[in-house]
Amino acid sequence: MKAVLIDSFGGVDVLRVGEAEKPTPAEGQVLVKVFATSINRPDLVQREGKYPPPAGDSDILGLEVAGVIEALGAGVTGWQVGEKVMTLVGGGGYAEFAVAYACHLMRIPERMSFEEAACVCESYITAFLNVFMIGEFKDSQTAILHGGGGGVNTAAIQLCRALTPSSTLIVTASPAKMERVREIGADFLINFHETPDFTEVVKEYTNKKGVDVILDHVGAKYLAPNMNSLGYKGRLVIIGVVSGIKAELNLALMMVKRQQIIGSVLRSRPVAEKGEIIAEFTRLALPKFADRSIVPIIEKVFTIDQVADAHRMMEEDKHFGKIVLRIQ
């Protein structure tokens, strides 16, 4: 099968399209004929040699796919060959065929394209897991969502607007992306270039109450302003550490305000646990995609032969929403 291969770790120049062995579904898995996948930041980190796939998963890049079931592994019930599906994968998305666990599959809604479906699993499930399941975000509450314009952040904004329409969303973004972030549902915007310490503006906007949930991928640099911006019983959910892994923490403030700091990853969770998360997403969020209340935001669709250009676009951080790779 055709696949994107890496002979050595490094920049976009290490990516090449070649031939790889077609995978075979094990017990409880299905083989998916992949029509589209998407580019996610962990793909870039893996390409650089800093994020190996979990044991037993493909070392081919790609964490989500949309396509058609090609074959069923032993013990799989409730699914049929030919069904259109989207799914998380531990690896292997940048290829014509990928294996996925049956408990991770979701049926593609009737009006959704393969390109749109390829955007859902990694970013929207990550946002749903961390904002709603872990962060316990509710309607009428206030959240800070960092990194306006990225795939997870735009997904989080859309999910909050659809599932908690009366909530208040404070979003940090670069100047170039602020207007588009406002258009998809942000209530209050912070230019993170001009205001790296957003504590005072958040206090002023919330009348010193602070916020209920913060979704953060920045890490060390934002720890102090995040904690200062959290209100009573506030939850900080950390899903990335792009600015570093070590920072000072005011434990007294955390104790008095009964705040929580929660670290979270999705890829390395056990198969059954990811299945439970996907089942909850299917129950609560997928209907919003089916009725087009949520439409995945796609910056650009590349072909598999343009994979280097797709990675380069993500590295330049000029995209808004998702970058899609069409496989076939």
One domain for residues 44 and 113: yes
Residue 26 has pLDDT above 90, yes or no: yes
23 and 60 fall within a common domain: yes
Do residues 110 and 171 share a domain?
Answer: no
Give me the percent of the chain exceeding a pLDDT of 70.
100
Residues 83 and 18 in one domain: yes
My answer on whether 141 and 251 are in the same domain is yes
48-68 pLDDT, tens per residue? 999 999 999 999 999 999 999
For strands 188-191 and 142-148, give the pairing. unpaired
Pairing of strands 142-148, 168-173: parallel
- The pLDDT assigned to 2 comes to 98
Helix (H) or strand (E) holding 57: none
What H or E segment, with its residue span, contains residue 88?
strand 84-88
CATH number at residue 301: 3.90.180.10
Same domain, 29 and 152: no
Q: How many domains does the chain have?
A: 2
Domain edge (last residue) among 236, 263, 290: 263
Instruction: Answer yes or no: do 153 and 105 share one domain.
Output: no
CATH number at residue 128: 3.40.50.720
Are 62 and 172 in a shared domain? Answer: no
* Domain's final residue, options 242, 263, 284: 263
- Alpha carbons 188 and 3: distance in angstroms, whole number: 42
Q: Does residue 148 register a pLDDT over 90?
A: no
Q: Is 231 found in the same domain as 207?
A: yes
Maximum distance among all alpha carbons in the chain?
Answer: 59
> What is the arithmetic mean of pLDDT over 29-41?
98
Model confidence at 324: pLDDT above 90: yes
What is the domain range of residue 298? 2-119+267-326
Question: Which of 239, 263, 287 marks a domain boundary?
Answer: 263
Read off the pLDDT of each residue in 132-159 and give the average, rounded to a whole number. 96
d(CA 102, CA 78): 9
The answer to whether residues 111 and 146 belong to one domain is no
**Residue entry with tokens 């979270």:** 264
User: Does the pLDDT at position 318 exceed 90?
Assistant: no
Task: For 243-279, write each residue's pLDDT tens digit.
Answer: 999 999 999 999 999 999 999 999 999 999 999 999 9
**pLDDT score, position 301:** 98
Contacts of 256 (CB under 8 A, 6+ apart): none
pLDDT of 178-225, one tens digit each?
999 999 999 999 999 999 999 999 999 999 999 999 999 999 999 999
pLDDT score of 99 more than 90 = yes
Among 258, 60, 237, 36, which residue's Cα sits nearest to residue 153? 237
**How does DSSP assign 196-260, residue by residue?**
S--HHHHHHHTTT--EEEEEESS-GGGHHHHHHHEEEEEEEEE---TT-S-----HHHHHHTT-E
- If asked whether residues 240 and 302 sit together in one domain, one would say no
How many whole angstroms separate alpha carbon 244 and alpha carbon 216?
12
**pLDDT for res 94:** 98
Together in a domain, 278 and 321: yes
φ and ψ at 136, to 5 degrees?
55, 40
